[in-house]
Structure 1
Amino acid sequence: MEGFEKVKADLKNRYHDLLKVEVEKAEREGWIRLAEELSRFRPAENLKGKAEAFKGEVKTLASEALKLREQLSTLEDRLDRARDKLVEAGVSEALLEYQFKELDSQLKRLYREMEKLREDLEIGRAEAAKVGPRVYTGRSPQEVAEELKTVNIHLSTLSDVSRRVEKAYEKFRRLYEELKSKIEALEENKRKLLEEIDARREVWIGKLEEVVSRINQGYQRLLSTIGATGEVRIVNPQSFEKAGLELTVGFHGIPPVRLDAYTQSGGERSTTIMAFLLALQEHVASPIRAVDEFDVHMDPKNREAVARLIVETVRDSPGTQYIAITPWHHPVFDEEARVIVVQKVGGKSEVALVEGEAKP
């Protein structure tokens, strides 16, 4: 607003200056015409020089008047822009005043609604305190109110329910609590049982690894007597149901591989199994051990290899008697071995002891 008034004042001053210059210019032009007319009648006087001087002053005044007109034009443009800004400011002020009134009206309305909600809240708190302690929830009051409406609608459909329903409900509620406590006790017992099973599994695994380690030593020792290598190891030790033993064996310098029906020959499998069983028998607390017809399906080479395993086992267990029953000729590798032959002759079985030097 101050800028607009300043522009108006500058414009007014420039108009006065321009008017003054125009008046002086008109006077000088009048004097020029008068001097030119008088010079016709009085040539002796120096009127022509005065006329030229007046012309110079008129030119100067004309230049000054042009500058003033340019300044006036500039001031008029500024005045127009200032007037436009003033009009825009007035419109903005009127709009802001209207918005202020609207916001003030809305604020008053919101204050009234807040007061009403505060009153409703106090009433609701008082009613809730009569029902019981406060229930904390992450839902908004509107959601709770909507659910209460839904529940009230459902309750209205149950207005004619018999009074015995409450007794039945209490009965089943107590039964539910009893079952719940029993389930919790069962869960606790299950947890303790699982902990005990885990503890026993660790003990079992330790003992099993210890026993299998000793059996593996005997198994490897027996295999070494026939030029073979192998290992007895536990598989799936963490599961009682899936735990088992796996045998590996390698003959003729071949690295040990898993014993199965596809890799080794039948004689090699029989020899490997006999080595494992003999190693296992070393941990059986019995003064007498026996194997019956172990070499029925063996070729002479594997039969001799198993015989060497049996003799090696007997040598390592001097306090144990060992009986090997076979329908074939059994090579003797130890001078302390006793060979008993049972032969059926003429429908009668005869038993005889073979005596003589041990075969190398």
Structure 2
Amino acid sequence: MEESGTAHERSADQLKDELETLREKLELLLATDPGVIEQYERRKEEIKSLSRKLEERERHAAKLEKSIKVARDNWQPALQDLVTSIGKKFSEAFDRIGCAGELQLTPHDDYEKWAITILVKFRDTEQLQQLTAHRQSGGERSLTTILYLMSMTECARAPFSLADEINQGMDQRAERAAHNELVKTTCKADSGQYVLITPKLLPDLKYDRLMKVLCVNNGEWLPEDNSLGNMMSMIRDYVAKRGSSGAAFM
């Protein structure tokens, strides 16, 4: 205070009062429970330990994120190319039947929620809408499903595929379009075997020489005489009457 020149700014009584105030504060500090200091030191060590664990986990998380990014950079472009290829065939199939369809790859932070979104338009007055169980009719959903499966056929390379009653619930236009698309896609030399099971078909559908039509007759009312109701004989008679020899049946 003498060095700073403030020694004479306060009286002796003021200094005594300040000294007494500081002495009371010191007594309060000395009266503190020693357990508080122990608790402080313990918490301080816990914070250090947890901080080290946090840093270690952050480094581990960063390493995992880097590995995930490297893996994703390898497979996501290939997946996108595959979806784009299938989507092109899917859109072309819809164009052939006078409608519109599109496929989109929908990423998500949760990899289990990645999806392929199907957008369709069946009427000129509509916009492309996501295919759902509530927005489109059963026949429209069935038609979309078979066109989607047909679009994947060339990429899947499965030895054989089977579709059961896909034409049920379709109107005649949709059923005829689905059948024609099925014939066009599967009747190729390098295509796998495709089996369609259905209780009925529309008349005058398009067929290919590579197709085989198998008619199964079953029930308690079948005649015991095998010569009666022979499907092959009836087909031959029908073909002979029409004078047609272009279709191959078996």
Q: Tell me which of the two structures has the higher relative contact order, counting C-alpha pairs closer than 8 angstroms and 6 or more residues apart.
A: 2
TM interval, short-chain normalised: 0.5 to 0.7
**2:184 corresponding residue in structure 1:** 312
The alpha carbon displacement at 1:214 in A equals 1.0
The alpha carbon displacement at 1:336 in A equals 1.9
**1:342 corresponding residue in structure 2:** 216
TM-score (ref. length: structure 2): 0.67
How large is the Cα RMSD of the aligned pairs? 3.9
1:157 to 25, 31, 53: 31
The alignment partner of 1:283 has SS state of helix
1:337 is matched by which residue type in structure 2? M
The alpha carbon displacement at 1:312 in A equals 1.4
The alpha carbon displacement at 1:254 in A equals 6.0
Q: Over residues 15-41 of structure 1, what are the superposed CA-to-partner deviations in whole Å (9 max), with x where a residue is unaligned?
A: xxxxxxxxxxxxxxxxxxxxxxxxxxx
Task: Identify if the C-alpha distance between structure 1 residues 201 and 317 changes in structure 2 by more than 3 Å, giving closer, same or farther.
Answer: farther
In structure 1, the gaps of 5 or more residues are: 1-110, 118-147
Q: Over residues 65-91 of structure 1, what are the superposed CA-to-partner deviations in whole Å (9 max), with x where a residue is unaligned?
A: xxxxxxxxxxxxxxxxxxxxxxxxxxx
Query: Where in structure 2 are the equivalents of 1:171-210 lying within 5 Å?
Result: 173-210=44-81
**2:145 corresponding residue in structure 1:** 273
Task: Identify if the C-alpha distance between structure 1 residues 304 and 187 changes in structure 2 by more than 3 Å, giving closer, same or farther.
Answer: same
Task: Identify if the C-alpha distance between structure 1 residues 220 and 155 changes in structure 2 by more than 3 Å, giving closer, same or farther.
Answer: same
The alignment partner of 1:312 has SS state of helix
**1:217 corresponding residue in structure 2:** 88
Q: Is the 8 A contact 1:271 1:306 kept in 2?
A: yes
Aligned residues: 216
Task: Identify if the C-alpha distance between structure 1 residues 269 and 154 changes in structure 2 by more than 3 Å, giving closer, same or farther.
Answer: farther
The alignment partner of 2:214 has SS state of strand
Aligned counterparts of 1:289 and 1:306: Cα–Cα separation in 2:
16
Task: Identify if the C-alpha distance between structure 1 residues 338 and 170 changes in structure 2 by more than 3 Å, giving closer, same or farther.
Answer: same
Task: Identify if the C-alpha distance between structure 1 residues 318 and 352 changes in structure 2 by more than 3 Å, giving closer, same or farther.
Answer: farther
In structure 2, the gaps of 5 or more residues are: 8-21, 240-245
**1:298 corresponding residue in structure 2:** 170
**2:4 corresponding residue in structure 1:** 114
Task: Identify if the C-alpha distance between structure 1 residues 182 and 281 changes in structure 2 by more than 3 Å, giving closer, same or farther.
Answer: same
Task: Identify if the C-alpha distance between structure 1 residues 315 and 207 changes in structure 2 by more than 3 Å, giving closer, same or farther.
Answer: same
Q: Over residues 114-138 of structure 1, what are the superposed CA-to-partner deviations in whole Å (9 max), with x where a residue is unaligned?
A: 1568xxxxxxxxxxxxxxxxxxxxx
Q: Is the 8 A contact 1:229 1:256 kept in 2?
A: no
Task: Identify if the C-alpha distance between structure 1 residues 149 and 225 changes in structure 2 by more than 3 Å, giving closer, same or farther.
Answer: farther
The alpha carbon displacement at 1:327 in A equals 0.9
Aligned counterparts of 2:56 and 2:30: Cα–Cα separation in 1:
40
What fraction of aligned residue pairs are identical, expressed as a percent? 26
Q: Does 1:358 align with 2:247?
A: yes
Aligned counterparts of 2:75 and 2:25: Cα–Cα separation in 1:
59
Query: Where in structure 2 are the equivalents of 1:1-360 lying within 5 Å?
Result: 112=2, 114-115=4-5, 152=26, 155-158=29-32, 161=34, 166=38, 173-236=44-107, 240=111, 242-251=113-122, 257-258=128-129, 259-260=131-132, 264-316=136-188, 318-329=190-201, 331-346=205-220, 357-358=246-247
The alpha carbon displacement at 1:183 in A equals 1.6
Task: Identify if the C-alpha distance between structure 1 residues 277 and 266 changes in structure 2 by more than 3 Å, giving closer, same or farther.
Answer: same
The alignment partner of 2:187 has SS state of helix
Q: Is the 8 A contact 1:332 1:358 kept in 2?
A: no
Task: Identify if the C-alpha distance between structure 1 residues 323 and 171 changes in structure 2 by more than 3 Å, giving closer, same or farther.
Answer: same
Task: Identify if the C-alpha distance between structure 1 residues 186 and 317 changes in structure 2 by more than 3 Å, giving closer, same or farther.
Answer: farther
The alignment partner of 2:218 has SS state of strand
